[in-house]
Structure 1
C-alpha cells in the first residue's frame, strides 16, 4: 500500500506531471502547425516551365537561366520558373508556339518576329526596315503610348499573355566587298530574313536568299553569297564571320542597322496560367521582365564592343551608309510598311501608334509629305 507521502514523492519525481503534459501538448501543436503551414506553402507554390529560343551554353541562355532561377527567391517561393533551352521540350518554333498555347509549357522566351505568320501584327512588334531604330523608342511606344496594352489584346486572341518586350540587339550585314552607299547594293546576292526586309532590299537591286543561320558561314566561304545578314557582332564573331568576309555594313553614326536595328525578344505565357496567378505575382513578373530586359541588352552590348575590337584585329573594316541613304531607304520602305499593315487590322493599329510617334517632332522620322500618295493611308 502506498502512503500519501510516497504518492507525492512519485509525482514529484515523474518527468511528466501536469506542467510537463501541457508543454508536450504545446510542442506537438506547434509541430503540427508548422507541418500544416509548410504543406500549405508547398501547395501554394506554382511551377512554370518556360523554354527559350537560346541554345544551351550561349550567353543568351545563361542570362535567361539566371533570371528564371531568381524568381523563386524574389517571390518568396510562391513562383518557381524552370528554364529550358531551345528544342528541349518543343523541337521547333511552331511546336514552341503550340506548346505554350496548349499548356504543355507555361511560357516562352522567343524573338517576337518569329510569329509573323501566326500573329501578323508581330511584324510591327519588333523593328522593321527604317522604322524606329533606337531601343528607348520601343520602350516608349510599349510603356508610354499604349502599345503594350494593344499587344496584350492581340495575344489574348491566341490564348497567350504578352508579359513584356526584352531588348536584345541589332542585326548587321557582313560582306565580301565594301558597301559605302545604297548604290553598292546593286547586284549583291545576300542572305536576309524574308518578309519586309527582303522586299525593301530588292528595291535596291539585291538578290535576296533565305538561309538558316547554320548555313551562312559555308555559303560565304564558298562564295555562293556575297553578303549576309545575321545577329549582332558578339554572336557573329563567335560564328567566324571575320574569316569569310572583310566588311561590316552599319547605318549612319549611332545606327548599327537600317533594316532591323532593334530585334526584340519577349516573355509570353499561357493565358490560363497567367490568370491563375495572384495579382501581386503578376505585377512582380511584369516588373522583373523590365529589369531583365535592361540587363540582357547591356550584357549583349558589352560583348558587342569586345567583339568589334576582335573584328578589327582580324582585319575587318566597318563601312557606313549616310543619313541621305537612310532617308532614301525609308522612302522605299514606307509603302511596304502599309502593304503589310493592310493585311491585318491588328497590324494596322500597331503601325498607327508607331506612325504617330515617328511623326512627332521629338523623333521627326516622318512628315506629312512622306505619307502623301501612299496606298492604304
Structure 2
C-alpha cells in the first residue's frame, strides 16, 4: 500500500469516525433532555389580570421558562382571587397550596416589616440601585435568609420605577392637610403616613376604585400613570401627587416554596432564574414606555398634577428613620438586614450624585428650557 493510499484510508476512517462521534453526540442530546422531568407548577398572583403590566410579569416569566425548557417545566398563572386572595399569596406558598407566588413583599408587613425591605421601603433605593443591591450587593441573599424562616425564597420579578404619590379628593398644601385623611396605602408607608395624621387602609388594587367612589377612602396610591388611568381614579380624585417617597424603586418578587425549589434539577433552577430576570427587566421597560404616554393623557383629561409639599416630605423623612430605629429594636431580622441596606444606600447615593444626577439634572433642565 502506497503512502498516498494509506493516508487516504486513514483520513476516510478518521472522517467517518468523526462523523460517527458527531452523530452520537447529536443522538445523545435528546436522550439527556429526556432525563429531565416534566414539571407543572401553579402560581398565584397578587394582582388582577386587568392590570396587564404588573400581572403580566408572571406571564412573561412562565412563557420564557416553558420555551427555555422546551415545555417540560410549565407554570400556570392565576390572578389574585382565583386560588387565594392576593393578601394570602405568601401563606399559599408556605402551605404548598401553590408552588410560587408573584407579589410585593411589603403586603406582608403584618407578619414582619422585614418583608418590605426586599421590595421597597420609604426613602429607599431607586430602580437601578434596587437591582444592584438585590443582585450583586448581597441584598437578595439576606432577604432569602429571612424568608427561609417561612419556608420560601424570593427572586426579583418586576420593577415599576419611582411611583406616584397618589390621588386626593382635596388639594394638599401642607402636612396639616393630611390630618384625618383616609388613604389606601400599604405596608411600612402606611405606618409612616399614620404618624403624619393619615388613616391608612390596605386594600387590593381591584378594591380601590369602589372605595374611592363610595367615600370609604379620601385618597389612594397604586403604581403610576398607566395603571392608575386604567383603574379610573382620576374620575373621582382630581389631584395627582408625586413622588411616592415610599416607593422609589419597587421590586416585585417571585416567592417560591423552598422545598419545591430545592427539589428542582440544576438545569431547571438556572432556567427559572433566567426567566425571572427576564420578567424583572421587561416590566420596568414596559412601565417606562406606558407611563410616558399615560401621564400626558391624564393631564389632557384635566388631572391636576402636584408635587407633595416640602413639609410633607420632610416630616415623612424624619418619621421614617425614627420608625426604622424602632424596627431595629423590635425585630431581629430587620436589625440584621437594615445596617447593610443603609450602608449600600448611602454609598450608592454618593456615587449617583456624581454622574447620574449631574447628567440628568442638566439634560432635563436643557430640554425644559426648549434647547
TM-score tier by shorter-chain length is 0.7 to 0.9
Within a 5 Å distance, the mapping from 1:1-377 to structure 2 comes to: 41=34, 44-59=37-52, 60-94=54-88, 96-132=89-125, 134-169=126-161, 170-185=163-178, 187-193=179-185, 195-211=187-203, 213-223=205-215, 225-250=217-242, 256-321=243-308, 326-360=313-347, 362-363=349-350
Q: Which moved more, 1:134-143 or 1:261-270?
A: 261-270
CA 260–190 in structure 1, closer or farther in 2 if over 3 Å, else same:
farther
2-side partners of 1:285 and 1:265: how far apart? 16
CA 267–361 in structure 1, closer or farther in 2 if over 3 Å, else same:
closer
After superposition, the C-alpha distances for 1:263-284 in whole angstroms (9 at most, x for unaligned) are 3211121112211222232122
Q: Tell me the number of residue pairs that the alignment of Structure 1 and Structure 2 aligns.
A: 325
Q: CA RMSD in A?
A: 3.1
Alpha-carbon offset, residue 306 of structure 1: 2.0
- Bigger Cα Rg: 1
After superposition, the C-alpha distances for 1:232-285 in whole angstroms (9 at most, x for unaligned) are 2222212221111221111xxxxx311233332111211122112222321222
Alpha-carbon offset, residue 312 of structure 1: 0.7
Alpha-carbon offset, residue 212 of structure 1: 5.0
SS for the counterpart of 1:179 is: coil
CA 190–301 in structure 1, closer or farther in 2 if over 3 Å, else same:
farther
Alpha-carbon offset, residue 150 of structure 1: 1.2
Q: TM-score, normalised by structure 1?
A: 0.75
Is residue 229–residue 294 contact of structure 2 (8 Å, CA) maintained in 1?
yes
Q: TM-score, normalised by structure 2?
A: 0.76
Alpha-carbon offset, residue 142 of structure 1: 1.0
Structure 1 runs (4+) deviating above 6 angstroms are: 37-40
